[in-house]
Chains A and B, each alone.
Chain A
């Protein structure tokens, strides 16, 4: 009996801890409506239009403004049907009949009927978002780092982003190791290489972060001060100062950027290339 209870409990726990996120493959045609194939994010724009339209329908029904409700219902129908034209695979998932019925219910000022069809249509939106929104966000709404090449200021070679990061973090670690081991000259070399590579990162960041305000976030006045202080500390082999400056840089540069970009990058690496 005890064994049976244990088995049941284990099953429950294994189920509750076994939630895996499944990233669904997106229909290929969808990429026609996002950069780089399209100059605009046309599919997202369509989603926004639909969202506004459905709110327009519901709010006008609630206020009893049937004329405007009809206008928004027709707009909703027109744009809802565009989904199937843009992505054929999704055409069969659309509730076209309910859409037609909604327009008619609004025309005949049938409040209960209208709200019922609005709900049915909304369900199709929710279902589709549940299946595909996360995949679309990862694939189309995050920068593509996998083709990024950065010129390494130390070796003069072109590195992938991963190799560049490895080289840079290795410099940082080696600087600390050499200092702790009492090898000041080697520590300096690693430290200066780290600084060169850290500053060299701006080659990549500035491609997207173009304004002065953007720059201030990823490499502003304070970051510059810290780098100057770090350079001095490295030159003099002052471990405490080095740690202090590195701590600031890791919190305000490394972590900030990683928190924004790294998770999406890792997901995209696994999935986004499809």
Chain B
């Protein structure tokens, strides 16, 4: 019944007037993200589980910035407005929400919510913004990763991997849920994803007591590990055996500074007193905010 009434209103008054009748002005005043959850329940709950939602209150961030006193770090952890390829300004209110709904979607200059769709959204003004389907929107804060991605020439953008989409309704609140057809709802938990064996080529060559190990990142279109400022790490452990007897153990630590760049071989030199007939390689990773190592791959190589 309500929908029919709305449709009747739309026909008789036109969309512009409807927008004004249903406008909830506080939404355009950067309220707490909880306010958005009234309609965008799914997106809100995904964001709640994301690192973006704890960007300001994360223990690691507080420690690394000496109680948030390294001022140049702050604006990306509580941005006022996230814009394409531009470092944001630090906002004054609700910093504890980190990178919240309004950081990414509200723009003062248009006084509207920006996003990747042209939508009729009576409670707030909306602006279709193509930046949201481009990696550029992430580049203001994730500049280093963005530049490596750009160099890689990948056709996939940041959102393709870190905001995977599912056909769903943007809004869960009645009657607005029926205002739009189902759309690609991008995951706002921003999963960090985990590489695996198929993402790498690994090559060993042995000459006398010299082992050359080469690893190529063939699929991930940015350096691994990557970060703007955090300390994610990859650990490569090489164990060499001669007739089941361990004769070599060597480890390498990769940081964003010396990580595996897309489509480039990285070489590692190893020396042994005796030539091994089996080499095991194990790659682990540790995310920036985590103390736990996770296994990426484990593989054995045999030699005559």
Residues on B close to A: CB < 8 A? Answer: 64, 66-73, 209-210, 229, 231, 233, 235, 251-253, 255, 257-258, 269, 271, 273
Contact = CB atoms under 8 A, between A and B. Distances in A.
A36 B65 CA distance: 9
A235 B251 contact: no
Interface string A132-169: 00000000000010000001011010000000000000
25 contacts: A35-B66, A35-B69, A37-B67, A38-B69, A39-B67, A39-B69, A151-B233, A153-B252, A153-B253, A185-B209, A188-B271, A192-B269, A192-B271, A196-B252, A202-B255, A202-B258, A207-B70, A207-B229, A210-B72, A210-B73, A210-B229, A219-B257, A231-B269, A235-B210, A235-B269
Contacts of B73: 210
B257 A206 contact: yes
A35 B64 CA distance: 13
Nearest to A192: B269
A120 interface: no
A3 interface: no
A185 B271 contact: yes
B251 A189 contact: no
A36 B269 contact: no
B269 A200 contact: no
Interface in A176-224: 185, 188-189, 192, 196, 199-200, 202-203, 206-208, 210, 219
Contacts of A151: 233, 253
B253 A144 contact: no
Given A37-B67, A38-B69, A210-B72, A185 B252 contact: no
Given A206-B229, A210-B229, A36 B66 contact: yes
Interface string A32-52: 000111110000000000000
Nearest to B71: A39
A185 B210 contact: no
Given A192-B269, A206-B257, A231-B269, 8 more contacts: A153-B253, A156-B253, A199-B258, A200-B253, A200-B255, A202-B255, A210-B73, A235-B271
B231 A203 contact: yes
A202 B269 contact: no
A98 B257 CA distance: 57
Contact of B251 (A35, A37, A156): A156
Contacts of B71: 39
A246 B71 CA distance: 35
Nearest to B268: A192
B271 A36 contact: no
A203 B66 contact: no
Contacts of B210: 235
Contacts of A200: 253, 255
Nearest to A215: B257
Contacts of A154: 251
B257 A36 contact: no
Contact of B67 (A35, A156, A202): A35
Contacts of A38: 69
Nearest to A205: B257
A153 B70 contact: no
A185 B273 CA distance: 8
Interface in A239-265: none
Contacts of B67: 35-37, 39
Contacts of B69: 35-36, 38-39
B68 A39 contact: yes
A96 B265 CA distance: 70
A51 to B, nearest CB: 22
A199 B259 CA distance: 11
A242 to B, nearest CB: 14
Contacts of A36: 66-67, 69
B253 A208 contact: no
Contacts of B64: 207
A109 B229 CA distance: 56
Nearest to A38: B69
A39 B70 CA distance: 8
* Max count, chain A CB within 10 A of own CB: residue among B209, B231, B269: B269
A38 B229 CA distance: 22
Contacts of B66: 35-36, 144
